[in-house]
Structures are given as structure tokens and as C-alpha cells.
Structure 1
């Protein structure tokens, strides 16, 4: 308890300075950000370098989510500017199109208008993408009730009783089909269910005037996809955004929770700028870049640190595509309970070479179950690595091992 109080005091002292000491901040965050006083929410938003970079001794690349500068005096101006910009995105891409669609748009514009500049044309073009975003966001962190709860700060322009805006959720409900075909996503998961749920259960909604947290995540992803048409939305992005939004929306300070949506959008955008190659499907098997390159580095690292274990995995023909593909692409967000994911991301975001450390964590995960891999058959080992969360291994043991590997 005394050590934990000392850590809280260290965070408090560093964050109360006019200029944050990056070296101290990185070390503190790497060892875990406390939830108290919104320290994790605040720390994840660093570090945006403007002006004199001399305050960042030995700075090498971005750390954390690159949103706030180390100079505390600049926070207010930057936050106001970014949050205003996000409000503009919502108005331009959701409120205005939603109003036109619900009102029937202009007299000379209609759903069958062949004009490529038709508002309806863009509206329908977005629907396929929106259907996938909606499906993924509804099932975000199913073991956690948080995303099904109503947010305290919904988008008033959309949910207001007098609003004529068709929400993203309503757009999906209007165009969703009752039938469903079997599909397999990039991570090998199918959409087949043992029992098909009724429509009323599939789309259980909050009362009018309320907005669930998953709907906020849906809106962020939709706007991100609209602003990045070359990439659009790719399955798995919801798993990257979810923990970020949860962290900001769970901040105990109301002034931070109120703008969790805007802040999450920009932090997610900054993170995606670093990992966007991972979500480009054409690079899945490229050994030079994208997820293909990361899986190659992962295999090489494991061979270097534990060649006997590496050879056993080769003998079993347990290819990294079977398990490490998801581990690396989703930054381990589906392999551990959310509190553990947040702790892992503290270290990842704080590390100067975060994706090399991610590879070290993945190697550590295999090494802590080394005995099972060496002694069990292929089906047992496959089940183990594809359902790592059920192994109940101490996360601190994995992180400690990852540090040793690094």
C-alpha cells in the first residue's frame, strides 16, 4: 500500500509541473498508470511536441497517443480547438446528411437519382460500411456492461426530441436484412450462431433520448472511415478504439468524460497513423511491411530467445497466422480481460519502440506456457494459444518476461 501511494504521489508531482518531464512520465506509465484521479486518461493523451523540443531529452519517436503537449499551459487552447473540429465533423458527416435524408432532401434529389453528386448516392454508398461498423460495435466487450449503458454526454444534436436527424443506428435498422449469410472475418471468426436470436434481442435499444456508449464508438469509427476513404473501416478497429474510449469515458472528472468522444477520435486517429499498415489486407503476407512483417519479426524473436520452443512450434506446424495474427493486429485486446488490456497498453504506449515490445509480450506469452506446448498435442496447443484468456496466467509474470526478452 505504501509503495502504491508513493506511485500516486510520483504521478501527481510530475503532472502538476508546468512542463512534464517526458523521461519520468514514460517510466511511470510503463510500470502502469493508476486509475485514480484520471491519471491513465491524462497520460495516454501525451505527447504532442510543439515549439522547443529541448524539453524532451533523448526523445525518439512518439510515445503514448500524441495528443497533448508536455507544456501544460497549452492544453486548454489545443483541446478547445480539437474538440471544436470534431463537432464540425459530426455536423458535416452525420447531422446534416441525416437531416436531409429524413426530410427527403431537395425536391430534385431522390433515392433513385442517378446523378453522382446526389446526396442519396453518398448516403447509400456508406451503408455497407456502416452495417459492419454497427455489427462490430454492438458486440464490443460483451462481458462488460459499460458499452451497453447510456452515456451521460450523448450528442444532443442527434438525440434531441426535436431533432430530425436519422441516427446511424436507425439507418442500420432501416436497411438491415432479416436473412444472414455465413461469413468469416480476417481473424478466422464466423458469424454463425448456434441459435439465431430474434430481431428484438439482436437490437435491444435504450429509450429515445439516450445513447449507449457503443453508439458513440460507432459514430467515431464512421467519421474516421469517412475521413480516410482510402482505408475506410476494417474489422478489428473497434477493438482498438474500445479500450481508448473506455479509458476516457471512465475518467472520474466530468470535464474529461464530457469530451471523451472527441478526445478518443483524435487519439485513435494518431494510433492508427502508426498501425494502419496492419489493417491493409493486401499486406497480410508481405514480409517487408504490414502484419506479415510483424509475424516474421515475432517468429525470429522467438527463435532467438528460445530456439527449442521455436522448433517445437515448427514441429507442430503451429503457424503464427493461427494465433499471432490476431495478437499483433489487435494489440492483444482480445486475449485478456479489459483491465489487463489497459495495463498492457500502459507499457505499449509508453515504450519508445512500442511494436517491438508488443512482439516481446507475444513471445513471453508462449514462453510462460512453454511446458504445455512442449508436452501437448496440436489440438490442445492450438486451443491454448487461441484462447489465452482462459489460461489465467498472471499478467505481471508475462510483462516481466517481456522486459527480460527486450
Structure 2
């Protein structure tokens, strides 16, 4: 208890400086951020280059970015919804071949929304947080008297027609007003603002823990803007790892997920050649398991509290995600005996469902530090 109080004091002292010492902050966060006082929420914003080290600039930057996000919502969700509510142009119709046709954009958006929604609904399905109502809903989108009724109808009827929806006592689905719904809108905005990449399956697993952390901030003045803040932190993070979501780079030896899997295999061979050779003997290719581990930053391999702890270290990693490769190697080395003694189907099941191993995360992280 005394040691933990000392850690809380260390975070308090570091974050209360007029200019934050990044080296000290990285060291503290690498060993885990406390939940208390919103320390994790604040630290992640700094480590993901959303907040500068000069604390005196925070207020101005946050106001500017949150205002910009509100502009994105208005421009890409509210205004199109109002136009659609007013009806399409008379000379426009669903079969119009004109690339500027409103209907063409409408159908394309629906396809994207359908994919995002399917993925978001798989986000931590056992965690009530994503199903509960958000504490700070966007009035323009969810209010019953809103002029942007079309957006809700598109999501509920056009996009989600194959899904079962919860309906409130007024006969309206309440999905849009949940944290799940706001994760959907954040990804929708990101996809529209990055047309060269758009939305790729798995991005929901990257956004989820960020949004959860910010929306769980005990400070209401920060929690209120969790959606905007998570959008920009997600965007910054994607700028760093976007190559691993580009399919054409999957086999590239210099960048992309192919390069990361090659580094992972080399690291494992350097640290435990016997285990590496056994994996080769089983023909257990990294594409079968490490592809997901590396692409999604281990967000599907551990319960959410453990994912948050892992991401403390990953975001604090000065070499940006080299430690991720060390953790992946440590995971295999933690189940070394099973891999050596079991057959291919058993080992495959284990590495594709690592939670079944019930290996303590602290043991994995300690081994990863040794590997590093």
C-alpha cells in the first residue's frame, strides 16, 4: 500500500509541473498508470501527442480541438442528415450514374456503416459500459425533435436491419445514445476524413480501449469530451500504425504487418531458438496468430483491464511498439511447455485463444522486460 501511494504521489508531482518531463512520465507509465484522478486518461493524451508537455497550452489546445471535432460532426453527420431529411434533388434518383449523385454517396456510406456497426457490436460484448447510455449525448443526433432524424433511421433501418435493436418506451432504438453508438460515429468520421485508407476491420478494437479510458475519467470536465479527445488520440495512433492496416503491405519486408511478423519471428529465434524451431516444426505460421496480436495491439488476447495495463507500456515505449514484439515473444515463452509437448491442434487453439492459458499478465510483462 505504501509503495502504491508513493507511485500516486510520483504521478501527481510529474503531472503538476508547468512543463512535464517526458522521460520521467514514460518511465512511470511503462510500469502502469493508476486509474485514480484520471491519471491514465491524462497520460495517454500526452503519450499519444494530443497534449503538449507545456501544461499552460492545454486549455487552448483542448478548446481548439474539441471545437474542430464539433465542426466535423456538424459537417459530416448533422448537415447531411438535414439535407437528407429535406429530400434528395428532384433530378437525382437511386440509379443515377453521375458520380456526384447523392444516392451514390448514400449507398456507399451505408456499406461502410454496416461494417463499422458489425465490428462495434463485437467490441467487449460482456462489458456493460459499451451498452449503457453515454453520459454526454450529442443533442443534434439523438433528441426526438432533432432535424437529423435521417441519420438515426439510416443506422437503425438501412444499416442495422439485420440486427435486433433495443427499443425504449417511446418506440425508438437507444443504440445511438450508448457508448457503442458513439464509437461507431467516431470511426465513421475517421473513415470520411481519411479516404485514402478509410475504415478497416479491427480499428474498432483500437478505438475501444481509448474511448473507454477517456469516458471513464472521474473528472466530468474531461469525461464530457471523451468522444472528441478519443477521436484525435485514435487518429494520432493510427498515423503511427496505419501501415499494418494496409493490405498491400502485408508481404512487405520493410514496413507493414509483414515486417512486424518478421521482426517477431527473429526476436523469438534470438531469445529461444529451441522454442522457435518447435514452432517451425509444427508449421505454426505467425499469420495464424501473431497477425492479430500485432495488428490489434493485443486488445483481443486479454480482458480489458489487462489491455489497458499493456497499453500503458506500449504508449510509453520510446521506440514505439518494439515492446509489443517482446510481449508477444513472452506470451509464447510463457506457454513453452505446452507448445513443446502438445500437437498442432492443441497449440493452435492455445495461441488463438491465449486467455485460456490463464497466465498472469504480470509474469508475461516481467518476461517481456527481460527479453527487451
TM more than 0.5: yes
Give the C-alpha shift of residue 285 in structure 1: 2.1
Give the C-alpha shift of residue 126 in structure 1: 1.3
Give the C-alpha shift of residue 89 in structure 1: 0.4
Going from structure 1 to structure 2, the CA distance change for 1:167 and 1:152 (only over 3 Å counts) comes to farther
Give the C-alpha shift of residue 68 in structure 1: 0.2
Give the C-alpha shift of residue 188 in structure 1: 37
Counterpart Cα distance in 2 of 1:273 and 1:162: 38
TM-score normalised per structure 1: 0.83
Q: Give unpaired runs (5+ residues) of structure 2.
A: 179-186
Give the C-alpha shift of residue 127 in structure 1: 1.2
Going from structure 1 to structure 2, the CA distance change for 1:42 and 1:167 (only over 3 Å counts) comes to farther
Which residue, 247, 257, 268 being the options, matches 2:223? Answer: 257
CA contact (8 A) 1:32 1:347 kept: yes
Give the C-alpha shift of residue 143 in structure 1: 1.6
Going from structure 1 to structure 2, the CA distance change for 1:329 and 1:184 (only over 3 Å counts) comes to farther
SS in 2 for 1:110: coil
CA contact (8 A) 2:114 2:160 kept: no
Give the C-alpha shift of residue 108 in structure 1: 4.4
Counterpart Cα distance in 1 of 2:292 and 2:224: 32
Which residue, 157, 173, 179 being the options, matches 1:190? Answer: 173
Counterpart Cα distance in 1 of 2:188 and 2:161: 23
CA contact (8 A) 2:141 2:152 kept: no
Give the C-alpha shift of residue 100 in structure 1: 1.2
Alignment of 1:151-166 (within 5 A): 151-166=134-149
Counterpart Cα distance in 2 of 1:157 and 1:373: 54
Going from structure 1 to structure 2, the CA distance change for 1:180 and 1:18 (only over 3 Å counts) comes to closer
Counterpart Cα distance in 2 of 1:189 and 1:303: 56
CA contact (8 A) 1:279 1:290 kept: yes
CA RMSD across the alignment: 5.9
Give the C-alpha shift of residue 21 in structure 1: 1.1
Give the C-alpha shift of residue 171 in structure 1: 1.1
CA contact (8 A) 1:335 1:389 kept: yes
SS in 2 for 1:32: coil
CA deviation profile, 1:317-354 (whole Å, cap 9, x unmatched): 10000100000000000000000000000000001113
CA contact (8 A) 1:30 1:348 kept: yes
Give the C-alpha shift of residue 13 in structure 1: 0.8
Give the C-alpha shift of residue 117 in structure 1: 2.5
Give the C-alpha shift of residue 167 in structure 1: 5.9
Going from structure 1 to structure 2, the CA distance change for 1:253 and 1:180 (only over 3 Å counts) comes to closer
CA contact (8 A) 2:38 2:217 kept: yes
Residue 188 of structure 2 is matched in structure 1 by: 222
Q: How many residues align?
A: 364
Counterpart Cα distance in 2 of 1:35 and 1:380: 37
Going from structure 1 to structure 2, the CA distance change for 1:344 and 1:91 (only over 3 Å counts) comes to same
Counterpart Cα distance in 1 of 2:39 and 2:16: 11
Going from structure 1 to structure 2, the CA distance change for 1:191 and 1:365 (only over 3 Å counts) comes to farther
